[in-house]
């Protein structure tokens, strides 16, 4: 049991490794991993009202409106007041960051900076097992059998929004809206930025930072 509740957010463009790094943080430090993309996909799969609405935006390669995102994410966080977590994919806008700030205090915000060309290469090679959210990359962490999830043996799929034709617009749009969010956390004094082209090289720095922040 951790002595103190610890809350971290991981920011970064699509493909920067938020999911991969958040999973490592969760595993290494015993935090729960929460992912906005997973909340959305669960709601889309269950055909909830929010899921049906969100799908229309994701299909058009747009961000889901702030009120839908906060409706999906905040109640979940409010049930976790006694748990430590790492949140990936939320907040993406200043309005989301402000809404999050109204319900909890963050300990650390990690911002990942990965060059544009690297992001493009990674995302066009990202494959997912929809039921579990396990993420593969045909080069970095390929499945044992091509096209098949290691644990369940079920087929892997590619997100529509990872397909090359929509990727560039998605990355460009990210850049415009992310800066004020990063600036906001920098002003609060809780922002830690990490730059690089390889998750395995960035990870030791993140791990040692968190080692100093999370009580054993």
Ligand X SMILES: Nc1nc2c(ncn2[C@@H]2O[C@H](COP(=O)(O)OP(=O)(O)O)[C@@H](O)[C@H]2O)c(=O)[nH]1
Angle at the Cα of 40 (from 53 to 9), degrees rounded to 5?
130
Peptide bond into 91 cis (omega under 30): yes
58 counts as binding ligand ADP under rule CB under 6 A: yes
89 counts as binding ligand ADP under rule CB under 6 A: yes
Residues 93-112 contacting ligand X, CB under 6 A: none
**Which of 11, 100 has the CB closer to ligand X?**
11
Residues 138-157 contacting ligand X, CB under 6 A: 139-141
Q: Using CB under 6 A, which of the segments 56-64, 143-151, 182-190, 207-215 binds ligand ADP?
A: 56-64
40 counts as binding ligand ADP under rule CB under 6 A: yes
Q: Using CB under 6 A, which of the segments 26-34, 61-69, 110-118, 197-205 binds ligand ADP?
A: 61-69
**Which of 84, 199 has the CB closer to ligand X?**
199
**Which of 40, 108 has the CB closer to ligand ADP?**
40
The option from ligand X, ligand ADP, none interacting with 143 (CB < 5 to 8 A, set by class) reads: none
132 counts as binding ligand X under rule CB under 6 A: no
């Amino acid at each position: 049991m951790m002595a103190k509740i610890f809350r971290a957010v991981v920011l970064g463009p699509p493909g920067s490794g938020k999911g991969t790094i958040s999973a490592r943080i969760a595993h290494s430090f015993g935090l729960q991993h929460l992912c906005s993309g997973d909340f959305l996909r669960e709601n889309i799969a269950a055909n909830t009202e929010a899921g049906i609405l969100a799908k229309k935006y994701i299909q058009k390669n747009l961000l889901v409106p702030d009120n839908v995102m906060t409706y999906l994410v905040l109640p979940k966080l409010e049930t976790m007041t006694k748990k430590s977590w790492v949140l990936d994919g939320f907040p993406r806008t200043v309005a989301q960051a402000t809404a999050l700030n109204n319900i909890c205090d963050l300990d650390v915000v990690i911002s990942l900076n990965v060059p544009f060309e690297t992001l493009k290469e990674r995302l066009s090679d990202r494959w997912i097992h929809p039921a579990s959210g396990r993420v593969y990359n045909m080069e970095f962490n390929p499945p044992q059998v091509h096209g098949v999830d290691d644990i369940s043996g079920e087929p892997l799929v590619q997100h529509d929004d990872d397909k090359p034709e929509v990727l560039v617009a998605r990355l460009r749009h990210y850049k415009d809206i992310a800066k004020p969010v990063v600036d906001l956390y920098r002003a609060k004094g809780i922002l830690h930025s990490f730059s690089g082209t390889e998750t395995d090289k960035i990870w030791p720095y993140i791990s040692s930072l968190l080692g100093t922040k999370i009580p054993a």
